[in-house]
Structure 1
Amino acid sequence: MTRTLSMHRALRVTLLAAAVTTLGALTAHTPAAMAAAAQSSAAIAWQEASGDADIDRAFQQAASEKKPVLLYWGAKWCPPCNQLKATLFNRADFIEQSRAFVAVHIDGDNPGAQRLGARFKVRGYPTMILFNNQRQELTRLPGEADAAQVLQVLQLGLAGGRPVKAVLADAQAGRKLSASEWKLLGFYGWDTDEQQLVPASQRPALLARLAQASQGVDEDTSTRLWLKALASAGEGGQPPKADAALRSRINQVLADPAAARVQVDVLANSADDIAVALAPTAGADRQALVARLDSALKRFQADATLSRADRLQALLARVELARLDQPKAELHPKLDPALLAEVKATAARTDQEATDGYERQAVITSAAHVLGRAGLWADSDALLKASLAKSHSPYYLMSYLGGNARKQGRTEEALRWYEEAFNRSEGPATRLQWGSNYLSALVELTPQDSARIEKAASQLLAEAEKDKGAFYERSARSLQKVGSQLTAWNAKGQHDASLKRLRTQLDGVCAKQSEASDKAVCEGLLKKG
């Protein structure tokens, strides 16, 4: 799963629920073992797509076979994508269900992938979209939900055949919906919607209206919509009014293990946002609510039917709740010693038990994140460093090490990690993203080092020149980030010479763009103010 989100929010999305198959500690990270692990995913007849022609062939097949199309957009390094491989794509029931649709995979680093991202309005990894064979989008699957629930939503989409946009329009018009249609709205991938159904700022109000309208039809879905409305308020917009009825509903869910288990992904991913939305000010009411949330999260941690990832997410949510009334950027929060001990023990157990290569890519940085949020920075660094040799995408972990050092003021160490992460990164879109992160760190941490900054920027422009998808979607945003930071860096004209050389190089890149849209994005990167 985790898209243009903060690291904390992105990590939330990585943690999916399901039992994980392990390969054995002695062989899990050998090439042969990784190939064996990939075979389970390969049992799904994925068709690789790098351009419009590949997509057209998939839809032509779908039309001839009267099947829908499932499009999965991901990347090798992406933790939630690896979690899908470890928890959903290897399930026998999902593999069997895949016979009913044409499965299309877009790797974000494939040639043309970013152009396809622009076509289908996808930005974040992973995104899963179900289409009918007439190319209408039916729904976006919720990558953060329990794997069994994702499968159920997929089945609902396959059976219903109505685009979610039409279902939503009927709901807003007050027309009657079936329980299945309400469930489709409740489990819609709002986090990967890219504001197609509703602007992000209006999402909490829309979800609250849907929650109200679905009451009496499907109470689990109604509760889910209320929780999603409360949770989405943390990303912009006004939360629904926390009246006595809503507080009572949420309290009843938290007190009921079975009811809370149905909502595990929302509660574990967004406990702190829900707490703030229901109890906006610190005090006795918030403390009581936090205690109830913490009790539910403890049950999730002890629930053997949940994946290691979801249990870890529940622990992270408890840490965030414990930090709620402390400064957000506090490096050494005051936490209960018992909670700190639990964080350390869980991280150590995760490192020991997570032997599947896909799962490790998904959960190790999450465990390191929990350690950092608990103020256990040395433990976080040690876990990441020990995992570098076991990761198929170590540059992702290196970036996290850079972030740890950056937060603690260790400037040179942070820059070394960011630079090494960039140097080790693979794939055109990934390299532009990692390179923009490196440049961002240089500009922030060593703005006086003009030569180093110019060299990094020049390398990124050279790589963009060779990448035909550089001016689309994620790659375009990476380059736009570079452009805006270089412009700010030279706000007073103190680096005019560097910017002049970079603009000259960029002019050469832009001149080679044959499409007007590419040229426009290119020419806008380093415009003079």
Structure 2
Amino acid sequence: MNKTSLYRIARPTLLAGSLALAVLGMSSLPAQAAASGTATVAWQPAAADADIEKAFAQARGEKKPVLLYWGAKWCPPCNQLKATLFNRTDFIEQSKAFVAVHIDGDLPGAQKLGSRFKVRGYPTMILFNPAGTEITRLPGEADAAQVMKVLQLGLAGGRPVKTVLAEARAGKKLAANEWKLLGFYSWETDEQQLVPAAERPALLAQLAAASQGVDAETTTRLWLKALAASEDGKGLKPDAALRERVAKVLASPADTRAQADVLSNGADDIAKTLAPEPGAERSKLLAVFEPALKRLEQDTTLSRMDRLLAITARVKLARLDQAKTEVYPKIPAALLKEAQAHAARNDREITDGYERQAVITETAYMLGQAGLWKDSDALLKSSLAKSHSPYYLMSQLGGNARKQGRTEEALRWYEEAFNKSEGPATRLQWGSNYFNALVDLAPNDAARIEKVAAQLFKEAGEDKGSFHERSARSLKKVGTLLTTWNAIGQYDAVLMRLKGQLDGICAKVDAADRANCTGVLKVTVRS
């Protein structure tokens, strides 16, 4: 999750008549926004093109937009959306104005739809107009009330973000709401629909400069997004004026609150971009960054996840100049105590299953970043029975053990996570992770490596969506690992057997998918 996730993820007139937007004035307090009674969103499940065509036909007939949500049962940020957005009374009421479509990535064939809509990361939310044109991608990591505002902009007859972006780049005048659409666009799930990832920092900086004088909050957000997109300080060269702008945002409680998601998720990259080297400039920045994040951590109008991300950011800033691979980083004792107290409070207070899946997994990650491995392990183990997707937690336990050099324990957790995982796409993903650990930690166990690869290929042949999107990447990962593992030909016989198995599977898949299938594993015949 981290950087994103929430996932590793970043993330705003009005409709006529009954769709008057009381939401724009609603509090973001979860307790005030939570739905009561049994009202829910009428999601339409989709796993094939026919399901999608049916939904769009309904949209055209009813003159309604389509909101497509792409997610998975185990995904922490997806569960965060269920706990904070999809259950809101205003979101449920607003859902009557659009056709709500849910693609569960583990439904048979769902990954093929992922290719159609160019979605990869869970969660992704896309708003289409009734004609099927993409309007915008919603920012899943933003505060729920902010996401609602983005949704409202799109629903209120908003133009496609691609058109808006083209006009902005051409220097044309945009309305304030169109600048907001760009500022709150989900750049992290763009999948290069608007711009290649490498060009994103420069584009966001260009937009920030062009929006100057229209809407200060949007301009600030675009600058912060540009800084955060410049990972490890690469891609953007800030000047004194930009440093001063960020310092003012961090000093202002109201401004910090408005940009909470960007500041927390991108804290380390923002800091490294603004002050690339340790020294006076870096110290000056951290002196205002730390208290700003601490305010967010203590802000009870934010969700528990948002507050947790703030303390995770504080931990990352504390280890900014230490190696990312450092297992036991040097963290101030006071911050370690705060981290432990925060984790204990989350574990004690969270009872909702969706929220636990989101927050507890991120809490365990935060503890690991702080070097509190025993605390992280204990939290994950005690939460296994409370999770509807315990295999996610098992993978985290495997990762914890691996980072600390406990090889056999790591492999046991990865294997159990694979064995307990559910759904075709998830099993291929978890299986490829287990396979990666096997090749890395037990490269001489050829029998075990072949057995797992054969199992994954067998399961791939049972799902029509296996050679698309996430599943295709999982299989390609296995193929690449096999080739690297057999670098000098010592396991030629193993690869030939696996290639034979895969050829039999590829012969049976749809002709359109055959190239993706045969490309999973390339075997060089040695003389």
Pick from 427, 450, 454 the counterpart of residue 450 of structure 2. 454
Look up the equivalent residue of 1:262 and give its one-letter code.
Answer: A
Contact 2:4 / 2:10 at 8 angstroms: preserved in 1? Answer: no
Look up the equivalent residue of 1:373 and give its one-letter code.
Answer: Q
**Mapped partners of 1:236, 1:326: distance in 2:** 15
Pick from 121, 125, 141 the counterpart of residue 122 of structure 2. 125
Matches within 5 A, 1:47-446: 47-234=44-231, 238-239=235-236, 241-446=237-442
C-alpha displacement at 1:521, in angstroms?
1.0
Contact 2:3 / 2:266 at 8 angstroms: preserved in 1? Answer: no
C-alpha displacement at 1:329, in angstroms?
0.9
Contact 1:18 / 1:88 at 8 angstroms: preserved in 2? Answer: no
Look up the equivalent residue of 1:60 and give its one-letter code.
Answer: A
| 2:68 alignment partner, SS class | strand
**Mapped partners of 1:410, 1:66: distance in 2:** 58
Q: Count the aligned residue pairs.
A: 508
| 2:230 alignment partner, SS class | helix
The 1:166–1:37 alpha-carbon spacing in structure 2 relative to 1, beyond 3 Å, is closer
Alignment correspondent of 1:521: 516
The 1:77–1:19 alpha-carbon spacing in structure 2 relative to 1, beyond 3 Å, is farther
Q: TM-score, normalised by structure 1?
A: 0.93
C-alpha displacement at 1:13, in angstroms?
3.9
- 1:304-323 CA distance string (max 9 Å, x none): 10011111100000000000
Contact 2:7 / 2:76 at 8 angstroms: preserved in 1? Answer: no
Contact 1:12 / 1:269 at 8 angstroms: preserved in 2? Answer: no
C-alpha displacement at 1:12, in angstroms?
5.4
- 1:397-435 CA distance string (max 9 Å, x none): 000000000000100000000000000000000000000
**Mapped partners of 1:47, 1:96: distance in 2:** 16
Q: TM-score, normalised by structure 2?
A: 0.94
Contact 1:372 / 1:380 at 8 angstroms: preserved in 2? Answer: yes
Contact 2:47 / 2:107 at 8 angstroms: preserved in 1? Answer: yes
Look up the equivalent residue of 2:226 and give its one-letter code.
Answer: A
| 2:276 alignment partner, SS class | coil
Look up the equivalent residue of 1:525 and give its one-letter code.
Answer: V
Look up the equivalent residue of 1:292 and give its one-letter code.
Answer: V
Q: Which runs of 5+ in 2 are unaligned?
A: 12-26
**Mapped partners of 1:276, 1:283: distance in 2:** 12
Contact 1:15 / 1:313 at 8 angstroms: preserved in 2? Answer: no
Contact 1:168 / 1:185 at 8 angstroms: preserved in 2? Answer: yes
The 1:37–1:496 alpha-carbon spacing in structure 2 relative to 1, beyond 3 Å, is farther
**Mapped partners of 1:492, 1:37: distance in 2:** 60
- 1:346-376 CA distance string (max 9 Å, x none): 1011100111000000011111111111111
**Mapped partners of 1:162, 1:246: distance in 2:** 30
Contact 2:232 / 2:269 at 8 angstroms: preserved in 1? Answer: no
C-alpha displacement at 1:161, in angstroms?
2.7
Contact 2:153 / 2:177 at 8 angstroms: preserved in 1? Answer: yes
**Mapped partners of 2:334, 2:232: distance in 1:** 31
**Mapped partners of 1:82, 1:345: distance in 2:** 23
Q: Which runs of 5+ in 1 are unaligned?
A: 23-35
Contact 1:49 / 1:105 at 8 angstroms: preserved in 2? Answer: yes
The 1:266–1:8 alpha-carbon spacing in structure 2 relative to 1, beyond 3 Å, is closer
| 2:266 alignment partner, SS class | helix
C-alpha displacement at 1:526, in angstroms?
1.3
The 1:386–1:296 alpha-carbon spacing in structure 2 relative to 1, beyond 3 Å, is same
The 1:14–1:191 alpha-carbon spacing in structure 2 relative to 1, beyond 3 Å, is closer
C-alpha displacement at 1:500, in angstroms?
1.1
**Mapped partners of 1:52, 1:514: distance in 2:** 15
C-alpha displacement at 1:326, in angstroms?
1.1
Look up the equivalent residue of 1:447 and give its one-letter code.
Answer: P
Select between 519-528 and 117-126 the one with higher mean Cα deviation.
519-528
Contact 1:74 / 1:127 at 8 angstroms: preserved in 2? Answer: yes
**Mapped partners of 2:3, 2:165: distance in 1:** 30
Alignment correspondent of 2:24: none
Aligned Cα root-mean-square deviation (Å):
1.8
Matches within 5 A, 1:474-489: 474-489=470-485
**Mapped partners of 1:364, 1:148: distance in 2:** 23
**Mapped partners of 1:114, 1:162: distance in 2:** 28
Contact 2:69 / 2:102 at 8 angstroms: preserved in 1? Answer: yes
Look up the equivalent residue of 1:282 and give its one-letter code.
Answer: P
Contact 2:7 / 2:122 at 8 angstroms: preserved in 1? Answer: no
**Mapped partners of 2:514, 2:494: distance in 1:** 22
| 1:160 alignment partner, SS class | coil
Contact 2:106 / 2:426 at 8 angstroms: preserved in 1? Answer: yes
Contact 2:275 / 2:281 at 8 angstroms: preserved in 1? Answer: yes
- 1:226-254 CA distance string (max 9 Å, x none): 00000001189612x21111111111111
